[in-house]
Structures are given as C-alpha cells and as structure tokens.
Amino acid sequence: MRKSYSFLLLTLFFSMNLLAQSAIQNALSSHGFEKVLIEEEAELIWVFFEHRNFRNPAESMAFASKIIRAHTDKFLVFIPVFHNRPMGKYFGKEFLFKEIEKSDRQLFFQGTATSYRFNLRLMPDITAQFGFLENPLATRTNLIVDTRIYLARGLALHTGMTVPLVNSLDKRDVRPHLSPTHLSYFLSFNSRHFFLLQAGTFFSDRYGGDFQYRYSPLSSAFSMGVSTSLTGYYLQSWNALRIGGIKLPTWNFDISYAIGRLGLDIQLRVGQFLYGDKGGRLDLIRQYGNVDFGLHYSYTTLDQGIGAQVAFPLFPGKLFRSKHVELRATEEFRWEYQYRPNYPKAAKDFRTGTPRLDNVLRQYRSAFIQGIR
C-alpha cells in the first residue's frame, strides 16, 4: 500500500513538472522565442532558446525572465542558442557565465525543443557615394525580403528577393530579383571556438565561398580570428545573370581586446582585401547596449583612409506572428562609410548576409551582458 501511495505521489509530481514546463515553453513560444527547451530540476530551471528579433541576447534573456516569473520563482539558467547551437550558460539575475559543456549540448540536441518558424525579414540595402559634381549624393536603395531555412543542425539556406526602390547611382535594372542566396554552416565548441562556412552569392556582387574561424572565449576580453574567401563578380537582374571567373582571394588575421568598463573594443586586422591590396585596418568599436558605433583607419598598398560604422536594430519586434510564420524587421542594420581620397576600393570587404563572427560574438561576451543587465 505504501509503495502504491509513493508511486502515485511520484507520478503526480512529475506530471505537475511536465505541465509547468509545457506552460513556460508555450508562453515563450507565443512571444517569439524559438528552439525553446525547458529542463526543470529541484531548485532551478534550464532555459534553452533563440529569439531572432533581438540583436542583443541580454535583452532576450531579460524578456524571457519576465515571462517565466509568471509561472515559477525558481533559479533560472539561460542558454541562448545561435543558429541551432548553444552559446553559453548565464546564471540568475546577474547573468554569471559558464562555458557550454558536452553534457549541455547533448541535453539540447536530445531534448524536444520547439521548432523554428518560417521567418520573413525586411532589410534595407543602401549604397551611397558622395562628391559627384552633378549629383552630390548618389544612392541605390533596395528593400530585401529574405528568410533563413534551417536544414540540419547548424546548416541553413539563406535566400530572398531584392526589391529596388531608388537608384540614382547607376543604370541597374529596377525590377525585383533574387537576393543574395547561400548555404551557411555554423559550428561552436565550448564557448571558445567558432566556425562559419558559407557558399553562394553575397552582397557587393560577389559569389563564391567564405570561411571564418574565431577563438573567442566569451568570458575573456581577448579574441582572435582568421578568415579567407575566394570569390568572383556576378550581376543579377530580372531576366539575366552575368558571372565572372572566381579569381579574387582574400585572407586576414585579427586580434581584438575589449576594455570592459568603457565598452570599447579595439581590433587590428591585417591581410589581403577584396581587390588584392594588402595592409591593415584598426577599428575602435563602442557598444551602447543595442547599438554599436565604430571608427576605423586603414592603410593598404592601394590607399589609406578613415571611416565610421554603425549597427542597430531596425524597428525591432514582430510585424506579424503566428505559430508557424513570422514577419519582422531586421535585427541588425549595419552601415559603413569610408573616405579614401585616391582609390575608393582600397581595404574593401563584402557582406554575406549573416553578420561576421566578430560582430556576433561581441554581443555574447559575458562582461558586456553583465554590464548592461
């Protein structure tokens, strides 16, 4: 009789835990969280999630905490996910940090996490040139409607449509056409080693392949990375495609150090840039919560120059959301201006459609997250 009573109590306890986990999971999912997995222990709850509306994971963790507090007051451990890979463990209100371990990855990959929505993203694409006599400010502005479809763990297809809006810069076709389309594979180990491999078409009229590796302990102010690409020129319009040969390799090495109290990241990059010029670039990047602002100086075999960049969310939040579909503005709009008096193409790079690893990992650094909590 005692065994039956104990079994009944045990069954009731586990049933209540499952119901609580399901309620939290559903509440988070209804507010835009994806890949949600809740694991509850005696005094704490492990919360795996990804939220693509937020550029800054600290904001998504604070938002999740408010939702979960309506269901439980247990100690929370957040494990944000990026491209279906756990990034790190952030404990409690202070977001104290620990690295991901093999057991954490196994728990996530073997658990029953919610799925990704079909996610449509609206993103402006602006190219501008200053200084023309007849047209002091020449611009080409497009609206990109794109999506990222996850095919396997870490593997995704990025594609969409480009809708031209204004073009006073050149004579390109102003009808809609396919936007940069590529496969990407993201891999991470122990919150220290990160890899990103991409192949397809990119911005700046490039096609080919791009590889990035970064040693970036998320608990450290120091990081370093290497990257290389092999690309060619292509130009796509409504009904035509022009392709040049792949013959433009790039490679670079960089080191970065963050001064935590100032929120200032100092980065030095050396290597070969898009048009074959060799040299270096020094960046000073200040993180203001959701906004990054940077200044840089570059010197290569073609020219030297100065510039500025800014990155911020564009109208953050959903425009429409259902259980399986979401329409939103981009979580990161990045704009960069560079002034080079003699050769504007010096020290050039290209965007792929996914932020570069250094720009992504800067947001997950524990000192940054703890500093803005």
Q: Looking at residue 338, what is its pLDDT?
A: 87
Lowest-confidence segment of 60-64, 67-71, 337-341 by average pLDDT: 337-341
Task: Write the pLDDT tens digit of every residue in 33-47.
Answer: 999 999 988 889 999
> How many Å apart are CA 174 and CA 256, to the nearest integer?
41
Which residues, other chains included, contact 133 with Cβ-Cβ below 8 Å and sequence gap of 6+?
Answer: none
Instruction: Based on DSSP, count helices (H) and strands (E) in the chain, helices before strands.
Output: 5, 23
Do the beta carbons of residue 219 and residue 99 sit within 8 Å?
A: yes
Do the beta carbons of residue 322 and residue 328 sit within 8 Å?
A: no
- Token digits of residue 42: 């005696």
> How many Å apart are CA 218 and CA 97, to the nearest integer?
8
Is the per-residue pLDDT at 204 higher than 80?
yes
Q: Looking at residue 160, what is its pLDDT?
A: 96
Alpha helices in 111-151 (DSSP H): none
pTM of the model: 0.90
Environment class of 41 (CB within 10 Å of its CB; exposed 0-12, middle 13-18, buried 19+): exposed
Length of the chain (residues): 373
Q: pLDDT confidence of 136, banded at 50, 70, 90?
A: low
Dump the DSSP string for 159-184.
EEEEEEEEE-SS----S-EEPP-EEE
Q: Looking at residue 95, what is its pLDDT?
A: 93
Do the beta carbons of residue 195 and residue 184 sit within 8 Å?
A: no
Do the beta carbons of residue 195 and residue 213 sit within 8 Å?
A: yes
> How many Å apart are CA 81 and CA 163, to the nearest integer?
31
Task: Write the pLDDT tens digit of every residue in 75-105.
Answer: 999 999 999 999 999 999 899 999 999 999 9
Q: pLDDT confidence of 31, banded at 50, 70, 90?
A: very high
> How many Å apart are CA 79 and CA 346, to the nearest integer?
40
Is the per-residue pLDDT at 1 higher than 70?
no
Dump the DSSP string for 68-115.
HTTT--SEEEEEEEETTEE--EEETTTTEEE---HHHHHHHHHS-PPP
> How many Å apart are CA 146 and CA 331, to the nearest integer?
13
Do the beta carbons of residue 106 and residue 79 sit within 8 Å?
A: no
Environment class of 81 (CB within 10 Å of its CB; exposed 0-12, middle 13-18, buried 19+): buried
Alpha helices in 268-315 (DSSP H): none
Environment class of 222 (CB within 10 Å of its CB; exposed 0-12, middle 13-18, buried 19+): exposed
Do the beta carbons of residue 260 and residue 218 sit within 8 Å?
A: no
Q: Looking at residue 150, what is its pLDDT?
A: 95
- Token digits of residue 60: 């998504």
